[in-house]
Structure 1
Amino acid sequence: MPKGHGLQLTAAAAAELGRQAAVAGTPGMMHLDLVDGQCERWVIRIRPGRLAGDPVARADGITLFAPGDQGERLAALELDYRGDLSGGGFLIRSQQPLRICACGASFSPAPEPLADGVPATK
């Protein structure tokens, strides 16, 4: 995993991943993969342990693993965590445009605009 080319973790995401790994009995190791979403292309699934795959992010004592074929899709993303009194959840951010479902759980790359500024549809 070349430095700066993998999935980026915020301090809040690393802290929550570390907490979840410790509770699950797999300190320092979590697994993330993209599964088919309902309203957009992908949903991020996070589970404890290494399972299978390659390291895609490291921060604050946590290593996040993902299937090898998903590394390229994850490379331009940042994983954040937000929590409040009613709960919390992981958020995806990107420097490139994303479409996020109203449910907040699914995302897709935004369609590339055509030359006249109208988004392409598929």
Structure 2
Amino acid sequence: MEISKAAIAEIHRMQSVRQRFDCKFRIGFTPGGCEHFYYSVDLTDAIAADDRLLEVNGIAVVIDRQQLAHLERLKLDYSEDLMGGGFRFENPIATHVCGCGNSFAIANVESERWQLPT
């Protein structure tokens, strides 16, 4: 996984807003969006038994082990435009990407596999 300098700056800004510089950056995906999956990002203190903790460019990154293979080559960037700021995702294994850039599909992976417990 690669995290750009702009994305690192935004993660640090998120941490400062929450006044939690020791929290970790969680990245993953859930079913939804225009394609099969939608990227999700957040700050967290919780690390589950199925999570993998990585250090990427000085950022502690938490990823669910089941999703790691689908995100390990991800390039994460951050930019702002007239519509506002946001993270930008470039995933080389995505077979389809929505115009918004946040929704994607992966060949041979069904969204039902990633349903969250209710």
- Equivalent of 1:23, from 10, 17, 21? 17
Deviation at 1:33, TM superposition (A): 1.6
> 1:65 and 2:62 equivalent?
yes
Residues 31-83 of structure 1: per-residue CA shift (max 9 Å, x gap): 11211123112211111124222224511x32121112111110121111111
In structure 2, the CA distance between the partners of 1:98 and 1:19, relative to structure 1 (3 Å rule), is: farther
Report the Cα distance in structure 2 between the residues aligned to 1:98 and 1:22, rounded to whole angstroms: 36
CA RMSD of aligned residues (A): 2.2
Percent identity over paired residues: 28
Report the Cα distance in structure 1 between the residues aligned to 2:64 and 2:20, rounded to whole angstroms: 18
Mapping 1:76-95, distance limit 5 Å = 76-84=73-81, 86-95=83-92
- Equivalent of 1:54, from 52, 58, 62? 52
TM-score by length of 2: 0.73
Larger radius of gyration: 1
Divergent runs of 4+, >4 A: none
CA contact (8 A) 1:39 1:106 kept: yes
Higher RCO (CA-CA < 8 Å; seq separation 6+):
2
Residue ranges of structure 1 left out of the alignment (5+ in a row): 1-6, 112-122
Letter in 2 for 1:48: L
In structure 2, the CA distance between the partners of 1:78 and 1:25, relative to structure 1 (3 Å rule), is: same
In structure 2, the CA distance between the partners of 1:104 and 1:30, relative to structure 1 (3 Å rule), is: same
Report the Cα distance in structure 2 between the residues aligned to 1:32 and 1:99, rounded to whole angstroms: 19
Report the Cα distance in structure 2 between the residues aligned to 1:57 and 1:8, rounded to whole angstroms: 11
Report the Cα distance in structure 1 between the residues aligned to 2:95 and 2:55, rounded to whole angstroms: 20
SS of the aligned residue for 1:103 comes to coil
Partner of 1:42: 37
